[in-house]
């Protein structure tokens, strides 16, 4: 099946710093990718829809200036958590779907810990 | 987006038994998918059922969809210890690939 990778898998950073997370579709092109956030023992919550070549669409309550999304190519979307705080510590997961299919393929996730 | 509901929240069974998880949603959907997540890991896609389908099988998995009741169920037959994981339903509306996730069911299969 389609493969989506994320990098890094785990990152620890200090409060106030910014962290970039990459999401790549390895064997297919994705005009749309999705970013989710998952708190411990909770479900996934959609943060934003990343659109190649245009601005991301953010869900209600998600600060677009804090969570910067760039989708510069058909195989790469990046999520930058700016001025990170401990409450941003979470599991961030991206997904993408090959064109014309409904199935979404998920990356392995990035565990962010802000100290 | 409104989160779907899943029940039970947690399920503990003996190896060899069947496990049934249910998912309810509130909107019209295009399709509904089931995913598995091992602790602290990414999601693994299990099965997709379209809104015009009522039942689908994949190995030991059986998924049903009742659009009149806005509900779906996932049945895992002859469970194994390796099936221990959290299971999530997720659905998308017409014309959208955006997924709304259910709250998940944590399944524990005891050897």
Secondary structure element (H or E) that encloses residue A95, with its range = strand A90-96
Find, among B23, B13, B25, the residue nearest to B85 by Cα.
B13
Q: Which residue of B has its CA nearest to A108?
A: B42
Quickly state the pLDDT bin for A101 (edges 50, 70, 90). low
Q: How far is CA B13 from CA A90, B21, B37, B84, in A?
A: 30, 12, 18, 10
Cβ neighbours for B59, distance < 8 A, ≥ 6 positions apart? none
pLDDT of residue B1: 46
Q: Which residue of B has its CA nearest to A96?
A: B97
Q: How far is CA A46 from CA A61, A64, B57, B94, in A?
A: 11, 13, 28, 17
Cβ <8 Å between A102 and B30 = yes
Residues of A in contact with B47 (CB under 8 A): none
pLDDT of residue A102: 66
Radius of gyration of chain B (CA): 13
Provide the mean pLDDT of chain A.
92
CA dist A22 and A62 (Å) reads 19
pLDDT at A68 over 80: yes
Residues of A in contact with B1 (CB under 8 A): 46, 59
Section A28-40 average pLDDT: 91
CA dist B111 and B103 (Å) reads 26
On whether any CB of chain B is under 8 Å from the CB of A34, the answer is yes
Question: Of A46, A59, A103, which is closest to B45 when you measure between CB atoms?
Answer: A103
What proportion of chain A, given as a percentage, has pLDDT over 90? 72
Write the pLDDT tens digit of every residue in B38-71: 988 889 989 999 999 999 999 999 999 999 999 9
Provide the mean pLDDT of chain B.
92
pLDDT at A114 over 70: yes
pLDDT at A60 over 90: yes
Cβ <8 Å between A102 and B104 = no
On whether any CB of chain B is under 8 Å from the CB of A40, the answer is no
CA dist B62 and A25 (Å) reads 29
- Three-state secondary-structure class, residue A18: coil
- A105 versus B5: the higher-pLDDT residue is A105
Find, among A105, A42, A109, A5, the residue nearest to B3 by Cα.
A42
- B2 versus B84: the higher-pLDDT residue is B84
Section B11-34 average pLDDT: 95
Q: What is the DSSP string of B66-95?
A: ETTTTEEEEEE-S--GGG-EEEEEEEE-TT
Burial of A44 (0-12, 13-18, 19+ CB in 10 A): buried
What proportion of chain B, given as a percentage, has pLDDT over 70? 97
pLDDT of residue A22: 97
Section A25-50 average pLDDT: 92
Quickly state the pLDDT bin for B97 (edges 50, 70, 90). confident
Burial of A15 (0-12, 13-18, 19+ CB in 10 A): exposed
């Amino acid at each position: 099946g389609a493969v989506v990778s994320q990098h890094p898998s785990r990152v620890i950073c200090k409060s106030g710093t910014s962290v970039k997370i990459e999401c790549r579709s390895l064997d297919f092109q994705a005009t749309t990718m999705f970013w989710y956030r998952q708190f411990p023992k909770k479900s996934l919550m959609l943060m934003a829809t990343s659109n190649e070549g245009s601005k991301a669409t953010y869900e209600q309550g998600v600060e677009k200036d804090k969570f910067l999304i760039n989708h510069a190519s058909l195989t790469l979307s990046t999520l930058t958590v700016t001025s990170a705080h401990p409450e941003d510590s979470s599991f961030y997961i991206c997904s993408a779907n090959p064109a014309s299919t409904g199935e979404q393929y998920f990356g392995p996730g990035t565990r962010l810990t802000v100290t | 987006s409104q989160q779907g509901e899943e029940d039970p929240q947690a399920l503990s069974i003996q190896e060899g038994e069947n496990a049934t998880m249910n998912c309810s949603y509130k909107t019209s959907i295009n399709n509904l998918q089931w995913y598995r997540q091992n602790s602290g890991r990414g999601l693994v896609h299990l099965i997709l059922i379209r809104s015009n389908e009522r039942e689908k099988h994949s190995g030991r998995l059986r998924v049903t969809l009742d659009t009149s009741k806005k509900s779906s169920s996932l049945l895992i037959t002859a469970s194994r210890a390796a099936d221990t994981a959290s299971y999530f339903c997720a659905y998308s509306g017409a014309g959208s690939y955006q997924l709304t996730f259910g709250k998940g069911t944590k399944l524990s299969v005891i050897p």
